[in-house]
Structure formats: C-alpha cells, structure tokens
Structure 1
Amino acid sequence: MTAFGTIDIGEVTRLTRAGKLAEAMALLKGQEAPGPAPKEAGRSARASAFRSIIDMVPPAQAGGAWTAPGSPGQAKAAAFPDLGETMRTFRERLATPGALPGLGEGFGRGLGEGVGPARQAPPVPDGARFEERSFTAEAGSRTYKVFVPSGYTGQALPVVVMLHGCTQNPDDFAAGTRMNELAEEQTFLVAYPRQPQSANLQKCWNWFNAGDQQRDGGEPALIAGIARAVIAEFSADAGQVYVAGLSAGGAAAAIMAQTYPDLFAAAGVHSGLACGAARDMPSAFAAMSGGGAARPRGAGPAVPTIVFHGDGDRTVNPVNGDQVIAQATPGTDLSRQVTRGETPGGMAYTRTVQSDAAGREVLEHWVLHGAGHAWSGGSPAGSYTDPRGPDASREMMRFFRSQARVPAQTRH
C-alpha cells in the first residue's frame, strides 16, 4: 500500500499534467519514476501505467470484506484513494487519438468498469420496493434508488440519504451496509444517489473539488435535491432527514451537513473527511494522509454528527475523524463520556459521546481499533465491509432518531 506521507504530490501533479502517466503512477506506487522507455518497450510501459491505476482499486476479496493489512483473519487490503482528477486526465489522454499509441482508441472509456466482483441487488422483502429514480436540476442530473419499506402506508417517515464510496453503487452499498434491512425493521425510507463514471471515473463523490463544497451548486445541490424529491414523493417527515456515507461518500456527507444544516437533522461520517479538507487533487492526498486542515464551520447551526473511523485505516488517516467532530462541534459547552468495549467478533472500540446542557447527545465518535477502511458491522454481500465491527448502520439510526426536530423553513 502506498504511504501517502512520502509522496511528492507536486511532482505527481506536474507529471500527470505533462502526460507522463507512467512516471506519475510510479511515484504514487512509491517507486522511482522510470526513465524514457525504448521505442519497442513503449506498449509495455503504457500497460504498466494502466495496471498501476487498476491497483489503486481494492481487489476482489473473499466475501467482499476489506480491512487494514495485517488485521487478524483478514485478506490483505489495497489503497482506495480518490484519484478523480488523475483519472480524468488519464481518460482524456486515452481518448485523444495518438496520445498513447498502442492502447487503442476509446480504451479509457471503460477504465474501472468490471473491477471487482459483480454485485447483485439486495433482496427486497414482500411488500417493500427498491426502485430507480432520476433527478435533474440546474446543477445537472443524477439517478438514485429509493427503498420503501413494506410498512409504508402514506405516513410521514424519516429519510436517510446514503452516499456510497468510490467504485460502489446503490445496490452494492445497500447490500454492504444492510440499511434496507434496518429500514424494513424500523420503517423508514432510504435514498441512494448514484455517482456515475461520467462525473468521476472511480465513481467517487468529488469531495475535493471547491465547486462541490458549496450550497446551491455542484454535487451538494444535486444530493439535496434528491432528498427533497423523496420528501415530496412520499410525504416524508422533513424534520427527520439524515445523511450518511463511506469514504468519499462520508466526506460528501460532511459537506452536506455544512452546506444544508436546515435540511439534514443529523449526519453520519464513516471513514471520511471534514468539509473543506481539500480543494484540489494535491491537497486531497495531503488530507487523506493526515496533513489536511479542515476549514472552520460556517455561521450556520451545527448539525449533530456521528463518526466511525478505524485507527488502522491506511487510506484515510483517522485524524480526519477527529477533524469531522471538531468541525461539527457547536459553540456551547458539552459534557463528555468515554466508554470502551469489544464486539463478539473481537473488535475493540472506544466510543466518545458529547452532550449539551440538556443531556442531548450532539456528537458521537467511534474509534475502531485495528479496523481498516471499511463499513463497520457490514455484510460481506457488499464491498468494503468489516463484519467484525460494531453495527454502524444500527448505531447511526439510533443516533439519528434522537435528533428529530421541527424543520425550519428551508432555503432553496
């Protein structure tokens, strides 16, 4: 796995922009940049660069679980960075006739497709629905899936917006987090926005782009629009709308809490980063390795936030979980309670709860000892899960339901 702290990000960026992709990817792999390749070896060098990019995507693991290298009983993990800008540059180069001869025209358009095991849609209980929708606005369009539990009869239900990680999709994320199963049990709606490859080749939410960190623009406007569309279609409870995500989706969830505090009553950030932790690709690498500096919370109200992060995470440094909590902390004094435990699967954890003067929990931080970059307590039916850990989905819903509020008039 690449040690991000030792990478010369400026040189990686320079090489990428210059089209020297093999050299750039070698640096990202922690290798010396290769010298000029002989003409007869050009195809091999280009293929090596392609393989390096594929190596940045976690390989298929037995059961689909992915945790930190060296974790007991777990397969070796691979790095899972958000390489949006690098990938777009690579794709553009491949799509340019003659730019990288020998790979074939259009080769880059399918990059990333078919990586990892095929995932089937999670089973749907009798009377429930898991349906595809589309949302279009000035900022663009996204499809999404919505789970409607069998217990829905027109009543005003809570809504949870789930933002998947890189290379994932709504079906995969629903299967891994088991959020649909929980929604069927507790009767709430779940919406899964889909990030297409046209927006990011690895299907990452573009949390590191300044244009996707603001209200009424970019991806935040689309995600908020999907949440409002679900509220309108199902007459949902606008005072119980929540957002959660993993990795790039966790970073996007933190952005939604900062940009739409009037829409979301609480947020769940799993293995993610704070809003504004990065503004471009170089600063994204720095933030992921623990060298970022999240911007202070704006003038809006603080959104109650629950964080899960493994202290063995080698993709997004666990200090980012601390930064998410710091950014979500309100300006009032909070009491703090720390508990420690271990799951039946053998994972130890430390849980820190901060409450306001009225005793209401407003911040909750779970540090998962020895865990890597994966959804805690998830199902092997989905990718990037660690079944050994505490049930993050259930704990998030417990926290979310305690934050129900009477919604204020929202701005559009």
Structure 2
Amino acid sequence: MTSLRSRTTPSPSGQRRRSLAGLAASFALVGGLLTGGLAAPAAAATGSWSTETIAGMNVRLYTPASAPALASGRALMVSLHGCVQTASVLQTGGNWAATAEKYGMVVALPDAPNGGVVLGCWDYYDANHSRTAPARHDDNLLGLVAALKARAALGIDAAQVYVSGLSSGGGETMVMGCLAPDVFAGIGINAGPTVGTTSGQISSVAVTPAQGKNTCTTFAGAASGSFATQLTSVVYGSNDTTVAPGYNTLNAQIMASIYGAGTSSTFSLAGLAGTNTAGSETLYADASGPRVSLVQNTNLGHNWPAGGGPGGSYVSTNSIDYPAYVTKFFFDNNRRVDRSVTPTPTPTATPTATATPTPTPTPTPTPTGAACVTATLAEHKAAGRAISYGVNPYNPYYAVGSQDYLGQGDATVASLSPSSATVWRKVTGC
C-alpha cells in the first residue's frame, strides 16, 4: 500500500522511484508489441522543425508554412510524451506535421526537464501543485507557452493555446488544464491518470469524481472562471493494460461536471481520419454546444494514436488520427474565439438594362411579426439562418447573428425566429 507520505510529499520518494521504474520497465518490455501495425504514408508538410532550449526544456518546434486557419492568429499545441518516450519520437511518429500545416498551427514538443521524475515521466503526481508558486514541471510548461506567445513572428493567438499528452504526459495535461484554465483553451488527455493520484495508483481507479473535481478546481483557484470556456478531449484504447481505462471516463466526467456539460450523446467513430475507426465517442454538451469528448478506440493499446506515419515507441499507426481529431474538435468548438463574423455574401450582378422600359413592380409589404421557421440544421444553413463548423454528424450549428447553439448534425431539427433582418434566435417551436 502506498504510504501517506508518498501521497502528499511533492518530491519523489524512493518508493515512487521504484514504482515508476517498474512501470517504465514494463513499458520497455512490451513497447514493441504496443507499437502500431503497418505504417501509412505521412502527409506531406511544407513547414519546418527546429530544436531549441526553452523554459529549461529541450523543445522540438514545428512552424507551419501555411496561413493560420482563423483570422485571430495561429493556434499553439503543446504535446507531451509519455514515460520511456521522448519528444523526438513524437516529432517523427506522432503525425503532428500534417495537421499543423492544415490549420497553420504551431506545435511544441518538449522533453520532460532533466530526464523527468524518472525515465522520462512528467511530474503529474498528487495534489501538491500551485499556480502562485508553480514548480515540478508546471512552471516549465507555463514558461514555454509564455515564451512562444511573446514571439511576434509566430503570431500566436492567446485564445488558441492547447495542451495534449500520453500517459504521464496525459496526467500532466490534466494538471495544466486544471492549474491554468485561463492559459489553456483545450486539453487533450490520452490515457492519463486523474489529478491527485500517485505513481502507484495507475492500475486501478483510486479517486472519486467528487475528489477529482475538488482537486482540479482547487488547482485553478482564482482562475476558475476560465473553466466556462475551456474544452476537454479524452482518448484511450480498449487494449490499454497500463493505465486503468476507468480513469478516462472519470476524467471526462470530472471536466464535464466542472463545465456544467450535463447532456451526453454517443456516436461511432466512422468517418474520422485514421487507419482504425472502430470504437465510440461520447460528447458532453452544455446549452451552447460540445464541451467534452470521450473517445474509446477499439484495439488501441497504451499508445499515442497517430493513425498514420511511421509509428514509433508507444505510438500506434492502427488507430484514429488523434492529432487531426483533437485539433478539429478544439477549432470547431473553441469558446474564446469570436465566431460572430460571417462571410460577406457574394454580390448579385446587375443585369444590363433593355431598351424597353420595365414597369416598376408594386413592392410586397413586409409581413408584420417574426416569420418562424422549423427545418433541419442543414436547411437552416443553406437558407443563411445558421452556420456550422466540421463534418456531419459531429458538426455544431449556431444561429446567425445571435450565435444560439442549435445542436449537432445536419438532420437535427430546430426552430428559428428572426429578431431583426440579420439576427436569428432559437425558439422552442413555431
């Protein structure tokens, strides 16, 4: 049994090092088996990787050649490796470059400082993390984000900063999302233990939803208000025998509870990018749309789900393309980016006047009162009453002008009523 001291002391104890060493050893023994199947060719990328020291860490940095997908600036994705894994593995096998190029997104892959707690592990352990006096890798990651945002040449939008990671990197991802919700607009947890757990508690769920929620909100402190606009993605494999699968569902439930996302719906993974789309997705939403995504990828082990590329240690090519999925989920549902701007309609050409004068038609009077319309979301969009982002059936819809959330999927039916010539609002019925 883990001692009380090992649960509460910030610095690694001898027992923790033995536990982590055992975990790392088991990783090394089965690493070859957990590496994915046949590799799919990686998509061509035109940006460039560089390596430098930032905030006390060795960082692999991808700078895209493409323009940012959103007018407000570039997104930044910080992606954290797992134990017995390195940033170089994610650079060559994590399949980040193609997605980064598609969205014009900067990707930063740091190595855990000083080789990690032991054998490369990130220090996500226990409940002793502080925003006012950050340490234990938390300060390094906050420093990395601050340093990259300060580089004017990168043009990073502070509203589009994300973090993701595998295993201990997934645990640290959750820590950072809880500790600094004002910094991270979205967090992607890949098979990560829940905040507040110790190194010896990975094989079975050791905390309750209430305990995890309390730990997370305590980490946030004065920044708790930023949970109102944060997103969470959780992904794991059905064949993971390293980190208890129950942690993934728990992590999704904790964040959904914090966000007030009380409505859930389940979908298949069919249509997603990647080489293996078996499994299911549960989406948790609030009144304004999706907030938390929980993806279970069938036959995936304890791996980073690259879904393509050459693969590598603890990287699966037989999976969904998680870099593509999580980036799209964040871009489609980001609550901090202004979505009120709609495309300017293409002007209609004026026909050439004929020689014969045409009588002026009698104007049709504008009907008194609002004209309510009930239709599918796809029909609302086609008529200019709604906008959407993404691909059916995962695409959220919003009413033009008011940005009222209408639901997901082209076939969903909603009623809209105009409050002005350019503003539509969702109503319960017509």
TM-score range, shorter chain: 0.5 to 0.7
Amino acid aligned to 2:102: E
Is the 1:288–1:320 contact (alpha carbons within 8 Å) kept by the matching residues of 2? no
Is the 1:380–1:387 contact (alpha carbons within 8 Å) kept by the matching residues of 2? yes
CA drift of 1:125 comes to 4.5
Q: Work out the CA distance in 1 between the residues paired with 2:157 and 2:23.
A: 43
Amino acid aligned to 1:393: P
Deviations 1:40-88 (A, max 9, x none): xxxxxxxxxx9x78743324766x8437xxxxx79xxxxxxxxxxxxxx
Is the 1:273–1:323 contact (alpha carbons within 8 Å) kept by the matching residues of 2? no
Q: Work out the CA distance in 2 between the residues paired with 1:384 and 1:362.
A: 28
Q: 1:403 to 1:367 in 2, by over 3 A?
A: same
* Aligned pairs for 1:7-406 within 5 A: 8-9=1-2, 55-59=25-29, 65-66=34-35, 125-126=45-46, 128-136=47-55, 141-151=56-66, 156-212=73-129, 214=131, 216-218=133-135, 219-233=137-151, 234-276=154-196, 278=197, 283-293=198-208, 294-296=211-213, 297-298=216-217, 300=224, 301-302=226-227, 303-329=230-256, 330=258, 332=260, 334-341=262-269, 345=275, 348-358=278-288, 360-376=289-305, 377-406=307-336
Amino acid aligned to 2:268: R
CA drift of 1:286 comes to 2.1
Q: Work out the CA distance in 2 between the residues paired with 1:222 and 1:20.
A: 25
Amino acid aligned to 1:338: T
In the alignment, what sits opposite 2:367? none
Helix, strand or coil at the partner of 1:208: coil
CA drift of 1:320 comes to 0.5
Is the 1:162–1:190 contact (alpha carbons within 8 Å) kept by the matching residues of 2? yes
Larger deviation, residues 293-302 vs 309-318? 293-302
Q: Work out the CA distance in 1 between the residues paired with 2:148 and 2:252.
A: 28
Larger deviation, residues 194-203 vs 177-186? 194-203
Is the 1:165–1:247 contact (alpha carbons within 8 Å) kept by the matching residues of 2? yes
CA drift of 1:351 comes to 0.5
Is the 1:206–1:212 contact (alpha carbons within 8 Å) kept by the matching residues of 2? no
Identity over the aligned pairs, expressed in percent? 21
CA drift of 1:177 comes to 1.9
Deviations 1:87-112 (A, max 9, x none): xxxxxxxxxxxxxxxxxxxxxxxxxx
In the alignment, what sits opposite 1:5? none
- TM-score when scaled to structure 2? 0.63
CA drift of 1:248 comes to 0.6
CA drift of 1:383 comes to 1.7
Structure 1 portions without partners, runs of 5+? 1-7, 30-49, 68-72, 75-121
Q: Work out the CA distance in 1 between the residues paired with 2:14 and 2:65.
A: 53
Is the 2:236–2:296 contact (alpha carbons within 8 Å) kept by the matching residues of 1? yes
Is the 2:122–2:169 contact (alpha carbons within 8 Å) kept by the matching residues of 1? yes
Q: 1:198 to 1:179 in 2, by over 3 A?
A: closer
Of structures 1 and 2, the one scoring higher in RCO (CA 8 A, sep 6+) is 1
Flag the structure with higher strand content: 2
Q: 1:227 to 1:396 in 2, by over 3 A?
A: same
Helix, strand or coil at the partner of 1:249: helix
Greater Rg, structure 1 or structure 2? 2
Q: Work out the CA distance in 1 between the residues paired with 2:141 and 2:103.
A: 24
Amino acid aligned to 2:238: D
Helix, strand or coil at the partner of 1:316: coil
Is the 1:306–1:363 contact (alpha carbons within 8 Å) kept by the matching residues of 2? yes
Larger deviation, residues 175-184 vs 244-253? 175-184
Amino acid aligned to 1:381: G
Q: Work out the CA distance in 2 between the residues paired with 1:19 and 1:308.
A: 31
Q: Work out the CA distance in 2 between the residues paired with 1:385 and 1:357.
A: 36
Q: 1:56 to 1:326 in 2, by over 3 A?
A: same
In the alignment, what sits opposite 2:407? none
CA drift of 1:142 comes to 1.9
Q: 1:54 to 1:157 in 2, by over 3 A?
A: closer
Q: 1:314 to 1:405 in 2, by over 3 A?
A: same
Is the 1:240–1:405 contact (alpha carbons within 8 Å) kept by the matching residues of 2? no
Is the 2:234–2:248 contact (alpha carbons within 8 Å) kept by the matching residues of 1? yes
Amino acid aligned to 2:105: F
Q: 1:311 to 1:363 in 2, by over 3 A?
A: same
Q: 1:307 to 1:147 in 2, by over 3 A?
A: same
CA drift of 1:178 comes to 0.6
